[in-house]
Structure 1
């Protein structure tokens, strides 16, 4: 799930996020990855916080190989 912040001045109902779901000004909410662009394209109302796939990519990070000791 991606995350966006609501920038509007007043609470707004967002039925896509759940029945009777109201998002408050400056609140960060999780949105379906497939719908992320539908929110952030409304730059006057929403700003990106975490793009789709970021959490999954972070989990797949491989640790660096240990350095060889010279000696």
Structure 2
């Protein structure tokens, strides 16, 4: 899941997410819908692009025993 921050000044109902989003709130959106949010830069800003969470987990070094 990708993450975006809502930049509006008032809460907004986002039917796709099934909930209300508050100003400055960071929400998870489906990877395949990420572009639909960030293409509205006056309303949404990117926080974590699709696939970044998986890449971060994969990049963690393993502990030596």
- TM-score tier by shorter-chain length is 0.7 to 0.9
Q: Which residue number in structure 1 is paired with residue 2 of structure 2?
A: 2
TM-score, scaled relative to structure 2: 0.87
Alignment of 1:1-71 (within 5 A): 1-18=1-18, 21-61=19-59, 63=61
Structure 1 residue ranges without an equivalent (≥5): 64-71
Large movers: runs of 4+ above 3 Å: none
Distance 1:45 1:62, change over 3 A: closer
Cα distance in structure 2, aligned partners of 1:62 and 1:29: 24
Q: Which residue number in structure 2 is paired with residue 67 of structure 1?
A: none
Which structure features the higher share of strand residues? 2
Instruction: Tell me the number of residue pairs that the alignment of Structure 1 and Structure 2 aligns.
Output: 61
Structure 2 residue ranges without an equivalent (≥5): none
Structure with bigger gyration radius: 1
